[in-house]
Structure 1
């Protein structure tokens, strides 16, 4: 390597001669041009001295250049040679900051390794390093703190334990720093699968069900007392796992491990911490009602029911569920072997009482022997005792209290009835109804296996209902005149001019709207099933609220906004055809036993004058259909969040959401039909593709809801058969009126 030196010779003008004043190795950019050294009156001896100094400086620079050329390129002196400024430039040179250390070639003693698989989340990492260096190990893609930091020391080997979450092919990098210079990173990958967790407190009581959290998709195995496998389960996407121990009743110590095929070749994790628990799989003896006495009479409509049951271990308690005429009436904790709760709202006459006990572990007893109690006067004879509720698959219960059942290796099943919350009654404002109970959630609709059937049902609706109905309506146009139904007192026959007319005052529009709304609400309540109990008054209120939201927000507000955007004016009106559709849907749901019921609740629409363009009508109609669909979808999703609601307000909200979801979906599939004055006709006449896309989406959404859920009961085959018969009849009528009848008229003429 040749070091280049640059010099700058400054010229000093002495009379007519030019001499070198000085030499610099590197010119200073910040220096200003020097002043001439010749001053007035300078002596000749001074000028000669300056000339000698300039020649000596030039000679010294020549020697330095020749010496630098003779230095070998790899010599440290050549590599460290820098340009040295003279005294004139050194004072003004700007200091240059030292550059940060850059990664150098990897030292020969630096290495890093990780195991291929770690059965714990504490992963041991090791390697070698240079003496005096430090090492940092961190995840390749993470931005947080490093896993390990090994401080600088004279050791040449290192190891550390890093806390790494479970996962496949987790990439780690290690960087060594020596004398401020970082090495090139070294990488390693590791499969990590730590031990799962087990829920529960020590010495907890269970029927054999255990649960916890593990790595998603892994198979979790519970190990009993350090050896035998108790049960296994696959962890969900959220990591939750649960299984039932198939062991007799008694104390056990449980640990758990997990494995997954793509982690460590299917190797198992380490065992979790131990949990001691008590398995109780034995059904308790039947509880006994001690008050009121069998055959006694109660003056009022409520009674305090008390009795004895199985005493639970310290800190725990069992539960007694009291049934009135085989329906849950009240519930009480069993404390110290006794229970007591109030049964209220009972009608006059004889009634049957019994109790079912649930111990602290969750095992159910057989029902107690029923007793008959007369409320009010003794007017009627006591009826025969009703059938006693019992767990599914169990033998008939005798009229006398059974003896204690022998120990079983399986937990007892709960009875076929659902107990109410503490203090609940079969006849109060906070008692749930069955309306909306079978409305599926989004997850149950997706996982129930009906996603393939829903598109077929939607296509069948379009091909067998909507299009044939359009053909039939077109063929019958002008042949059948429907009466104009109004609720304002002006739908009577027009009087002759000779008859005097006494005009009545117009009805209040709110009253006019309330009449069909109340009728539709009654139809919906009847479709879901009703009884003479106060909880159905709450259900009626919830249905009215749901229908009001659909008609006011989904239709009135939405069409108002759509008309404003299109700069057109429309008028809201009651549509009798929609009320007729609500009647048909309610009757079919009730007769066919469809659950969740297929109902409709939109009763109003917007009407336009004949001067409004078809495009504007269609867009406002699409806004109406879309808003009702969005309301129904939102209510459906929110209803799934309520779960098992309890209490007046929670049940009112859940039933209102169920009304909006079910009546909204039923109304959408009616609104999109291309007949009469329905919005679907305006869309159909404006754009066939837009109508087809809209009805397909609406029918698909409705099909997913009515088919979803394991408890749903929609008669798919029967519906398709009836739809096919309707389509055949519609096409036959259309063909007759279009082709056969005109020919018959011509022959007759």
Structure 2
């Protein structure tokens, strides 16, 4: 039966529910207000009154915050004016400093640059109308120079414009004489772009003159404006043009060239006088002449001394002269280079002995001596060195004298002189001035006479190639300089020295080496004879062993590889610099060695068959590379310039079965072909002009390499041992071998004779020097003779 709640209980539960609702509704409303205060501020909600809460009415929902609408896109930047170069025009030729003009955004910053300069040429601001200008300064001469302008505007990308032009500056021009005064030829010189065509023009009262010449690879040029240009002054300018300039450059600034085409009058010799007697050593000469000129005194045909003319007088002191009566005369050369006629000769007798200074007189006893004032010696200036040496300087000659009551002589010190030659970094040397000091003619003494000026400054430098090691393909190498001429002013003495060197090689190297080789060969043969039958060694046929596969190589390819290897060995015979010119030199050596090998086998093969009736065989000789390496080491050790070379890789010899006489004659024909080839190349090299272009330098290097390689190969092959050609000649005739060896060694010594100065001074080169060369040669000869003596005499006696 269901339980019926009491009426009081139901009312009690209803009151509890209403009370609970009354507490929960305010709490929920306060929580909603704390969670979204911002929403309540933006859009207030209707808050129920406490009375409404008591009736439990629902709370109004909070409206969502409206999302703001997206903003409009930014406006595009305002267009600006792009930069543009209006001057110079593209493809034009510019010289010196020029102006770059153009337009850009008004009041914008612009920066101008050139492809041949790392820094900007200028940075400027365009004017209010957008115009701008920029001065370039002097840009390097070059084709295809790119001029660029860059515009800088805040808020905009950098904009630019370019123009390509050619730049060719004017060459420099100066007097061709060190004194600045030219003869009637009007010699001028200067610098330009390498291989450019330079045109120099001059104008003056005497007329208009010009000359055109090509600059060498270093840019240097020189030419004569004319012939017999009258004396006076002309204004000289120069332009240059190239293959890419499409016209000449601007003219160089004018300079005044003084022309002196009038020869000076002959000087006079006033001391010694005609008929005088003078010592053969230290004789002092004096006379008069044209101030500024250089006087040369001749005793017979011998140039005794030289001196400059100062204030119309000159004086110099001779060295050692030949005794006897000779005619003394003089000539003088003015600063322009004009030479006078010979002065009237005076007859002077030179006797054995030397000049002695006059002793100063002593004052009488008890008398008072008064020091005399020495005559002021004029500074001596060294005369031009050989090959236009620059002026030297001499110290002043000073004199002091003491006199007694009758006056005594003063004495003057010698004015020293020195000169500096025009050759690069090559000092000349001036002879010292003569002693000053004359006789004091009064009690006070008038002191010494003027000290004589310094003498000639000699240019002791060797001729230099116009090419320079400038780091380009046109640079110079050690094979670029032309070899010693075959015939010249010093040819006789050079050939005598070369023959003496050849005799020394025969006596100290070739003959001892032959003795030692023969002795060692006999000793080895004796040892084989004493050895008898061997109990050990190969006792099975060779066919039982496996053989490595044979790789066939084309003989032509093998010869080409060997030729390049020989050329590389030849390159190592001297210093190598990191310059492109040495790649050119490698190509020249390869071509020269190819010609050398072709001639050395083709000529004996043809002539041997036609003249001697002998057939020959040609073979690749790998041991020749070892010989080339030994020759290279000798060249480096003794610093031989240009180098010792052995460029053969092919060997030729008569067929098997040829007699001893036939082998010797064929060997002589082989040696003769090398000598003829070297002599022809030597003659061609000496008549070539100095190398001024890469092509002429390459040709000179090829000819020089053929000369050195031919004579070097002949000198090696003539040695009388091994399988060399000299061994066949030696076995047939000692006299024929001696003549052939002497000829080959003499030719090699003659072509290398210019290297003698570097051998004579070890400190001047990286080599061992001539002294060590002689020591090594004597030591080799001593060892060879010792070995020969032991094997031939001592060892048999001991057995």
TM-score, with structure 1 as normaliser? 0.44
Higher relative contact order (Cα pairs below 8 Å, separated by 6+ residues):
1
TM-score, with structure 2 as normaliser? 0.42
Greater C-alpha radius of gyration: 2
